[in-house]
Amino acid sequence: MSIVSVAGVCKTYPAFRLKDVSFSLERGKITGFIGRNGAGKTTTIKSMLNLIHTDSGEVSYFGIPLSGHETEIKQRIGYSTGTVSWYPRKTIREIVDVTRTFYPNWDGEAYRRYMELFALDENKKPMELSEGMKVKFNLLLALSHRAEVLILDEPTSGLDPFSRDELLDLFRTLKEHGVTILFSTHITSDLEKCADNIIYISRGEIRADCPKADFMRDCGKADETLEEVFLRLEKEARA
């Protein structure tokens, strides 16, 4: 069942254009969003969250258009980037105390569980955290209000291999509980471990949107990894 729909989204910048981007996300599936730097991944994600004004197109969640229902929808979704932009001199506890007031569905038990899982210290400030711990803190906030959809822009950026594996295990557990996950990444080996579907964007256009197995069958060659398929497609597009 489709839980997120992106239809005909366009956005023009002086040096880049997002062209008629359309795809949907299935409930309880993990979708990897791949494309080289500047291909349009972050612009697409920002369009999905109304963080930029698009030229045309429509985004809907749970069968409800984002336009006119943004507050209602954002209570039910989580968003995280690979970086943190919170007040660097406030403690995690202080930031959480403010953040939780925006979410009626804030789950204190889940928050404590993820604090322990991510080994975060409530008394630390973002400026005192490593890059990997900043990513975990951002994910903590996204996961603590029972989000039904997670939209993650480079969520494993800055994490060591062990922490990345822990996070991918968490994604698989969330999927089993019906959570829909879209995440962009340059670490394609992560997608090989956990993604159900692949969306591939190049030069502002969606080039593939299908189950991972279909992507590998239709776009790959014998014995190629997902990374090798992606790199070859990018080279061919620029030949």
pLDDT at 239: 65
Report the C-alpha dihedral over residues 40, 43, 47, 53, rounded to 10 degrees. Answer: -120
User: What is the token pair recorded at 48?
Assistant: 């999905």
H or E segment and range at residue 98: helix 92-99
pTM score, whole prediction? 0.90
User: What is the token pair recorded at 85?
Assistant: 């932009």
Residues of the chain with pLDDT under 70: 82-85, 239
H or E segment and range at residue 169: helix 161-176
pLDDT at 53: 94
pLDDT at 118: 87
H or E segment and range at residue 92: helix 92-99
According to DSSP, the β-strands at 64-65 and 30-34 are: unpaired
Longest Cα separation, the chain:
53
pLDDT at 235: 86
pLDDT at 63: 95
Percent helix, strand, coil in the chain, to 5, is: 40, 25, 35
Site of tokens 């690979």: 82
